[in-house]
Amino acid sequence: MMNRNSQHSAIILRISPLGEIHATVDLLTPDRGVVRAIVYGLRSRRGSLRGRVVPFARGTLYLYTDPRREESKVVDFDVHRYAAAMQQDLTAFYHGTLWAEVVWRTLASGDGGEPVFALMSEGLDLLEESATVPARTQLISMILLWRYLAIMGLQPDLRHCERSSRSLAAEETRFYDRRDGALVGEEWVGKAMIELPPGVARLLAASDRYPLTRAAALPVTEATLRATRAFMLAAIQDAVEVPLNTLRTVAGYL
């Protein structure tokens, strides 16, 4: 018999209105991946969970699941960490929103959720620390998205040309072909490909060698960060395959 009551470590990814005073929430958990549940009374002034179930909050979630209706509801949420600084900084908030949308739309990459949960938890901690420092916020976000592509199994190969399989030199410019999510050498360059100056490949390769905290502190020029952003936002959109609302509506903040 199914246990109707359960508890999970959880991150609030997304909140959507349901009727006048209720809401549905999409949650990231390490054991069940992305879970959807109803929070009754969340939008009511007297709702017991109002102020606790908020974007990017992390803690222990208590669920009740009705097996007949195949519906879960949030009974309680013991918050361990709020994203207070992110709530006050639009750049950090919208980067967090992008991460949350990517994870939600890909159902945590179809994984059990544990590596995605660990990555997002650490990323949110770093975003909290970097709020009000846009360049560092952007660097953290791009590195996190790069690592998420690896979890999805869709991270482009920085070392070889996808067309010819030849090795790409460290100082060689690469080009991202959005048709198949591949990096190619300049001999294969075509229309609408995104150029990756050598600094982008060096940055991403270096970030793979370090823990996320250290990778997020790597030195980077403004030009390299700008080129990395152009590549990563295109690559993550192509990997998800459905239009990302965050990129459509607030790309200027990213």
| Segments making up each domain of the chain, as ranges | 5-81, 85-253
CB 120 within 8 A of CB 11: yes
Residue 63: what pLDDT?
95
Residue 24: what pLDDT?
97
Q: Which two tokens stand for residue 111?
A: 């994984």
Which burial class, exposed, middle or buried, applies to 240 when counting CB atoms under 10 A from its CB (0-12, 13-18, 19+)?
middle
Q: Which fold has domain 5-81?
A: OB fold (Dihydrolipoamide Acetyltransferase, E2P) (2.40.50)
Fold match between 5-81 and 85-253? Answer: no
Give the count of beta carbons closer than 10 Å to the beta carbon of residue 248.
9
Residue 147: what pLDDT?
97
Residue 35 vs residues 25, 32, 107, 157: alpha-carbon distances, Å: 8, 7, 9, 32
Which of 102, 6, 126 is CA-nearest to residue 61? 6
Residue 3: what pLDDT?
77
Give the count of beta carbons closer than 10 Å to the beta carbon of residue 214.
11
Residue 111: what pLDDT?
63
Pairing of strands 58-66, 182-184: unpaired
Residue 62: what pLDDT?
96
Q: Superfamily assignment of 85-253 in CATH? A: Recombination protein O, C-terminal domain (1.20.1440.120)
pLDDT in 10s for each residue of the chain, 254 residues: 557 899 999 999 999 999 999 999 999 999 999 999 999 999 998 889 999 999 999 999 999 998 888 889 999 999 999 999 999 999 999 999 999 999 999 998 876 689 999 999 999 999 999 988 999 999 999 999 999 999 999 999 999 999 999 999 999 999 999 999 999 999 999 988 999 999 999 999 999 999 999 999 999 999 999 999 999 999 999 999 999 999 999 999 99
DSSP 156: P
